[in-house]
């Protein structure tokens, strides 16, 4: 009667296990007739049995159960993605312990530790393996928006010349162009005479500046913005001596002084030696 009850229990356990191990790589471990089935580190133990039979043969595995065990049991070991468990400790003198990377876990209800221990105990050890990385499709970031287009360069100044009734002298000069001056971020005087714009009056087409090299020169007036620069036609000018006793009133420096590039305002009777 007891053997019949055991066979019924084994049949029910085998049926349940057959459903659990579908689509898993499972094998029976343990060599008859003295069986001591043990699962590997990358496997989980699903059940144990001492004898085979039709119920056991229903379980899908890579090998058959084979001969029955005289002592001990065989273990059904399955590779489980992400988790592998095993019993550690060999009867009858058990000294179970988990390996590095494993931890003691609660065994499933249908798991058997095999032969009983005369001394010591067996432990159920599980290793949680890292899940394979999920490869997301490569996504490129959208390209940055193109920069806003640059404005067109300003119109070139026209009709530029040394202001009538004005003679460049003492490092100061006045230029008149057709009024008004073009809309621009910056008005420049181009030459080889070290010229610099000091003040502009756009509505009058007037440009006041300074120079550091006296003598004959070819000048041009340029209008500049982020989009570029356009310049007037070149015109001739005679730049007088930079050292004067009574120079014209300068638009920046106080009376009796004049600018000297890199040195600020200097007395009118002092020669300008600009910092190079």
> Region 256-275: what's the mean pLDDT?
71
Tens digits of residue pLDDT in 5-48: 444 444 444 444 444 444 457 888 888 888 888 887 677 778 88
* Residues 48, 99: Cα–Cα separation, whole Å: 22
What's the pLDDT score for residue 24?
A: 59
Tens digits of residue pLDDT in 179-225: 999 999 999 999 887 899 989 999 999 999 989 888 999 999 999 99
User: What residues contact residue 155 under an 8 Å CB cut-off, 6+ apart?
Assistant: 182, 223, 230
User: What residues contact residue 134 under an 8 Å CB cut-off, 6+ apart?
Assistant: none
Computed on alpha carbons and rounded to an integer, the radius of gyration of the chain in Å comes to: 50
Exposed, middle or buried by CB within 10 Å (0-12, 13-18, 19+), for 276? exposed
Residue with tokens 């005479």: 193
Token pair of 77, please? Answer: 């070991």
What's the pLDDT score for residue 23?
A: 44
Name the residue with higher pLDDT: 190 or 253. 190
**% of residues, the chain, pLDDT over 70:** 77
What's the pLDDT score for residue 74?
A: 87
Assess contact for 21 and 111: CB atoms under 8 A: no
What's the pLDDT score for residue 200?
A: 93
Taking the model in full, what pTM does it have? 0.42
CATH class (in words) of the domain with range 161-243: mainly beta
Question: Where in the chain are the domains?
Answer: 24-80, 82-131, 161-243
Tens digits of residue pLDDT in 99-126: 888 888 887 766 667 778 888 888 888 8
Query: Does residue 224 sit in helix, strand or coil?
Result: strand
Mean per-residue pLDDT of the chain: 79
Count CB atoms within 10 A of the CB of residue 219. 24
What's the pLDDT score for residue 6?
A: 45
């Amino acid at each position: 009667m007891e053997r019949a009850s055991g066979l019924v229990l084994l049949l029910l356990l085998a049926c349940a296990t057959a459903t659990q191990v579908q689509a898993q790589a499972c094998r029976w471990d343990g060599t008859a007739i003295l069986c001591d089935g043990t699962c590997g580190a990358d496997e989980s133990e699903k059940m144990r049995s001492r004898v085979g039979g039709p119920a056991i043969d229903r379980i899908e595995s890579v090998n058959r159960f084979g001969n029955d065990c005289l002592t001990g049991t065989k273990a059904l070991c399955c590779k489980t993605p992400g988790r592998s468990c095993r019993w550690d400790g060999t009867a009858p003198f058990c000294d179970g312990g988990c390996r590095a990377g494993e931890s003691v876990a609660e065994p499933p209800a249908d798991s058997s530790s095999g032969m009983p221990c005369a001394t010591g105990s067996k432990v159920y050890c599980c290793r949680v393996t890292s899940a394979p990385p999920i490869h997301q499709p490569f996504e490129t970031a959208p390209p940055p928006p193109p920069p806003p287009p640059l404005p067109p360069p300003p119109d070139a100044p026209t009709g530029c010349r040394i202001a009538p009734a004005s003679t460049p002298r003492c490092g100061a000069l006045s230029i008149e162009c057709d009024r008004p001056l073009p809309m621009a971020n910056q008005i420049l005087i181009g030459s080889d005479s070290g010229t610099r714009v000091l003040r502009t009056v756009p509505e009058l087409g007037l440009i006041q500046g300074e120079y550091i090299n006296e003598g004959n020169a070819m000048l041009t007036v340029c209008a500049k913005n982020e989009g570029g620069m356009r310049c007037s036609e070149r015109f001739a000018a005679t730049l007088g001596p930079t050292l004067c006793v009574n120079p014209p009133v300068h638009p920046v420096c106080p009376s009796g002084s004049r600018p000297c590039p890199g040195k600020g305002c200097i007395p009118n009777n002092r020669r300008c030696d600009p910092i190079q």
